[in-house]
Structure 1
């Protein structure tokens, strides 16, 4: 199958102040040192590769005291120029939402919604042409789904996460080609009811196994042809190539110490002009 890349508009944040200070997820170990300089080099590799593929990447200035701002995907969800802000579960990340809001308002966004319910942006929301896939179970509240559906005027498909290693939807599912509702996901991250929904709605999805998921291979950024994902997930590459995609491995080993991969670092800005 001939795959066509589509130019995308992204927002990223340099991991200048990245560190792991507590174990809020099974991936995080405060006793394992984080090298912020190495994290910055790895982040630059991801940013530069996206730009080399023809995508626009804008940068959100990092802030001291917000060590996880590098995971820019969590700060908002943007569809058709409309922005649903984030409301973080953990107090350490709460300040990030205001930084994202300031950035969008300063870049001409008029349709911005301050959320009433907990939601962690594209960490738990994924967009296809037919659906707004919405994760819940660990971070984003189920009650936020109705808010997102009303604001974006898109049908929501609620998906329950049950494995604490995959606390965000973007650690367990990736959109490969939104135009044709093509995704890949790890079934073991979801409840049985949600697995049934995924089988029904996405019968041709790429199915990942536990090895792929543990390497954060589902935390991927796709432009419809190129799929950027952690190079540690190389065992997932053949399945992607078999579908006509071009997997591109990026060393994100420092960011993985907090459970972050390529998608965590990249927020897609849909329908908003670049500056």
Structure 2
């Protein structure tokens, strides 16, 4: 592959949830501090800019109504996994987020031919990322190993389990981004030695992020195959993506990072068919 290999965008279909009730009133990850005030108006403005960017790039965005008392519902990626016209709802580990799973599943059941409630702890696309024929599946802090087997049976796709070992990167989508069907970017320090070896074997040409990019949530990104929407502060990663033929598009979601989420966390992809 040459550094200037052309990339091609494919229109995507996303589900998002406005941060109407966003706040940090509890701490269930290393980024949350209830002592730091949240500017909800700024969070909404930043979220709207992300939504508008998706629309400008030619993608479709559907919205789910935010529910009072669920400040983390803005992180739509955690609500479910939708692949091949099937939706597997989330079952959250923390009781503070438990009601989000049924809310997202109710929305999906009206639109997806086959939707099911998870029996095991899984936090949707936070820990399940589609890469070609595979589901890359994170565990270590949130989704259980048993959820990997459940997802494989439900979707009929091979699931590749990956162990997260740094509490700052508690979901797979905070440490790894799928760029194309056969290319990912990831931060090696977030994974166990065995999982790093798996990633090196599956994706020998992967884009590697350093600690500076990871700590600004640079890997919590969304790619359409050409454009990679990521936190604007991840300048090093943006440069490496540009060298590989992608067009990085930086956005500021600093208020939503106070809850431990950024671009990908706010974005659930709806994959209606194969």
Q: Which runs of 5+ in 2 are unaligned?
A: none
Q: 1:69-96 CA deviation, whole Å, 9 max, x = no partner?
A: 0000000000011001100011110111
> C-alpha separation between the residues in 1 aligned to 2:116 and 2:107?
14
Q: How does 1:33-182 map to 2 (within 5 A)?
A: 33-107=37-111, 109-178=112-181, 181-182=182-183
Structure 2 match to 1:11: 15
Q: How does 1:185-204 map to 2 (within 5 A)?
A: 185-204=186-205
> C-alpha separation between the residues in 2 aligned to 1:270 and 1:48?
20
Q: TM-score, normalised by structure 1?
A: 0.97
Q: How does 1:242-261 map to 2 (within 5 A)?
A: 242-261=243-262
Structure 2 match to 1:222: 223
CA positional deviation for 1:106: 1.9
CA positional deviation for 1:235: 2.1
Task: Please list every run of at least 4 consecutive aligned residues from structure 1 whose deviation after the TM superposition is greater than 6 angstroms.
Answer: none
Secondary structure at the residue paired with 1:254?
helix
Secondary structure at the residue paired with 2:168?
helix
> C-alpha separation between the residues in 2 aligned to 1:257 and 1:231?
16
> C-alpha separation between the residues in 1 aligned to 2:30 and 2:108?
32
RMSD over aligned Cα atoms: 0.8
Q: 1:179-225 CA deviation, whole Å, 9 max, x = no partner?
A: xx110000000000100110111100000011010010000000000
Secondary structure at the residue paired with 1:166?
coil
Secondary structure at the residue paired with 2:104?
helix
Structure 1 match to 2:268: 267
Q: TM-score, normalised by structure 2?
A: 0.97
Secondary structure at the residue paired with 2:141?
coil
CA positional deviation for 1:110: 2.8
CA positional deviation for 1:233: 1.1
Q: Which runs of 5+ in 1 are unaligned?
A: none
Secondary structure at the residue paired with 1:143?
helix
